[in-house]
C-alpha cells in the first residue's frame, strides 16, 4: 500500500512540476518525476503477483525515457544558443 | 513496514524538493537523489533488475545529463509563470489526478490478472533463469529491438541538432586533481562489473541495458578527465559499433521468420546461444549509443 500511495503522489507531483514550472528544464525534471511515478505503478502491479512482464516493460521504458530526455536537453540547449 | 514508509516519505520529500526548490542546479541534484532512493524502493518491490536499471540509467547517467544541463542552461524562463489562481487550479487538478491513480492502484482486483504462469511455463525452453531477461529477449523481443533502435534514433536526432561543419562533441573543460586519477583507477573495475552484470543477466538480476550503461559511464568518465577524445561523427568504426546490435537482432529476427516460422522467433533448442549472439553486439551498441547521448551534439571545431 505504501508504494501504491507513493506512485500516485509522484504522478501528481510530477504532473504539477511539468505544468506549473516556467523554466523549461524544470518542466523536464517534472516530466521525469511523472515518468518515475508511472513506472512505480507498474512495479506495484508486478509486485502483487511477482509478474516479470511489467518489470521488463519498465526496463525498456527507463531506457527510452533517458533517450527522450537527452534529446529534450539538446533541444533546450539549442534553443538557448539561438536566443543569445 | 515502518522502514518502507520512511523510505517512501524520503522519496516524496526529495521529489517535492525537485519541484519547488528555487535553484535549477539543486533541483537536478534532488532528482538524482530521488532516483537513487527509488532504486531502493524497487528492491523493496522485489525487482532487483529494475533497481539496477533505475540506479544506472535513471539516476546515474540520467542524473549526469540533467545536472550538467542545469549548470549550462541556467534559469531563463521561457514564458511567464502561471498566475497564483492558475497555479491553485493546476495544483488542485494534479492532486485529483494523484487521488485517481491511487484509488485505481488500491482497488485492483485480487488476484490481479497476470502472466506469471505463462512466463514460468515457457522459461525452460529459453535456457534462461531470469524471467525478466526471458521476457525482454523472447516474448517481447520486438520491444527490445525497437528500444535499441530508439537509442539509435535519439543519437541521430542529437546529431541533427549540430551546427554546420561540426565534427565531434566539444572537449570537456580541463580537469586537474582527483578526476584524472579516478578515471584511471575506476574503469578497469567498472568494465569487469559491467560485463559481469551483462553475463549474470541470463540467470539473475542484470542485463545488457544496465551493463551497457555502466560501460558508457566508464568511457564518459575517461572522456571527462581528458584521457580519451570523443570520436568524430563520421568515424566508420563508430557507425558500426552503433548499428551492430540492432543489425544482428534484425538479422536473427528475419532468420526466425525462415527457421521458426515467425519474426524474432528463436529456433527450438538454440535459444540460449542465439540470445548470447544478440546480446554481445547489442551491449556494445547500447554502450556506444548511451555514451554519445551523454556527450551531446557535436560542435564546430575551434
Mean pLDDT value across residues B261-275: 78
Chain B contact for A8, CB < 8 A? yes
Nearest to A20 among B41, B90, B101 (CB): B90
Rounded to an integer, what distance in angstroms lies between the CA atom of residue B60 and that of residue B36?
A: 8
Grid cell for residue B195: 560485463
| pLDDT in the model for residue B115 | 79
Residues B139 and B202 placed together within one structural domain of the fold: yes
What's the pLDDT score for residue B78? Answer: 67
The alpha carbon of residue A73 is apart from the nearest alpha carbon of chain B, in Å, by 7
One domain for residues B166 and B262: yes
- Left (φ > 0), alpha (ψ -120 to 50) or beta: where does A3 sit? alpha
The predicted model gives B93-115 an average pLDDT of: 87
R_g of chain A computed on alpha carbons? 15
pLDDT tens track for A23-58: 889 999 999 999 999 999 999 988 888 888 888 899
Q: Which domain, by its residues, includes B18?
A: 1-74
Q: Does the pLDDT at position B301 exceed 70? A: no
Q: What is the mean pLDDT of residues A9-34?
A: 93
Q: Determine the residue of chain B that is closest to A76 in CA distance.
A: B73
List of chain B residues whose C-beta atoms are within 8 Å of the C-beta of residue A60: 136, 140, 143-144, 147
For residue B135, give the nearest of A20, A53, A74 by CB distance: A53
Choice between B152 and B117, residue whose per-residue pLDDT is larger = B152
For the domain spanning A2-83, the CATH number is 1.10.287.3510
pLDDT of residue B296 exceeding 90, the answer is no
pLDDT attached to residue A28? 92
Pair B260, B216 in one domain: yes
pLDDT reported for residue A12: 96
Q: Are residues B65 and B94 in the same domain?
A: no
Q: What is the ipTM of this complex?
A: 0.93
Q: What is the pLDDT of residue B7?
A: 94
What is the 3-class SS of B224-253, one letter each residue? Answer: HCCCCCCCCCCCHHHHHHHHHHHHHHHHHH
Q: Are residues B124 and B153 in the same domain?
A: yes
Q: What is the pLDDT of residue B170?
A: 77
Number of domains in chain B: 3
Question: Residue ranges per domain, chain A?
Answer: 2-83
Average pLDDT over residues B157-177: 81
Amino acid at each position: 500500500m505504501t508504494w501504491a500511495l507513493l506512485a500516485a503522489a509522484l504522478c501528481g507531483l510530477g504532473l504539477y512540476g511539468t505544468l506549473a514550472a516556467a523554466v523549461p528544464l524544470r518542466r523536464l525534471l517534472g516530466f521525469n518525476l511523472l515518468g518515475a511515478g508511472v513506472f512505480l505503478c507498474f512495479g506495484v502491479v508486478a509486485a502483487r503477483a511477482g509478474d516479470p512482464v511489467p518489470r521488463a516493460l519498465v526496463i525498456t521504458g527507463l531506457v527510452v525515457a533517458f533517450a527522450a530526455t537527452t534529446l529534450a536537453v539538446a533541444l533546450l540547449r539549442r534553443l538557448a544558443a539561438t536566443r543569445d | 513496514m515502518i522502514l518502507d514508509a520512511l523510505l517512501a516519505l524520503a522519496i516524496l520529500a526529495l521529489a517535492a524538493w525537485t519541484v519547488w526548490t528555487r535553484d535549477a542546479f539543486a533541483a537536478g541534484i534532488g532528482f538524482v537523489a530521488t532516483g537513487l532512493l527509488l532504486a531502493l524502493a524497487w528492491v523493496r518491490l522485489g525487482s532487483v533488475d529494475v533497481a539496477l536499471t533505475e540506479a544506472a540509467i535513471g539516476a546515474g547517467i540520467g542524473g549526469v545529463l540533467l545536472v550538467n544541463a542545469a549548470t549550462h542552461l541556467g534559469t531563463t524562463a521561457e514564458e511567464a509563470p502561471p498566475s497564483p489562481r492558475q497555479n491553485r487550479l493546476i495544483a488542485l487538478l494534479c492532486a485529483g489526478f494523484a487521488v485517481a491513480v491511487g484509488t485505481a492502484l488500491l482497488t485492483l482486483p485480487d488476484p490481479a490478472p497476470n502472466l506469471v504462469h505463462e512466463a514460468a511455463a515457457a522459461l525452460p525452453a529459453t535456457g534462461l533463469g531470469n524471467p525478466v531477461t526471458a521476457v525482454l529477449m523472447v516474448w517481447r523481443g520486438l520491444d527490445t529491438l525497437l528500444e535499441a533502435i530508439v537509442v539509435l534514433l535519439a543519437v541521430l536526432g542529437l546529431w541533427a541538432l549540430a551546427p554546420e561543419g561540426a565534427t565531434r562533441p566539444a572537449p570537456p573543460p580541463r580537469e586537474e586533481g582527483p578526476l584524472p586519477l579516478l578515471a584511471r583507477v575506476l574503469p578497469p573495475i567498472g568494465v569487469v562489473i559491467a560485463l559481469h552484470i551483462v553475463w549474470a543477466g541470463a540467470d539473475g538480476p542484470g542485463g545488457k541495458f544496465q551493463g551497457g550503461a555502466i560501460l558508457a559511464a566508464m568511457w564518459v568518465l575517461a572522456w571527462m578527465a581528458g584521457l580519451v577524445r570523443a570520436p568524430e561523427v563520421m568515424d566508420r568504426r563508430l557507425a558500426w559499433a552503433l548499428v551492430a546490435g540492432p543489425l544482428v537482432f534484425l538479422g536473427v529476427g528475419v532468420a526466425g521468420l525462415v527457421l521458426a516460422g515467425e519474426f524474432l522467433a528463436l529456433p527450438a533448442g538454440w535459444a540460449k546461444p542465439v540470445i548470447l549472439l544478440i546480446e554481445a553486439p547489442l551491449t556494445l551498441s547500447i554502450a556506444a549509443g548511451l555514451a554519445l547521448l551523454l556527450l551531446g551534439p557535436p560542435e564546430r571545431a575551434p
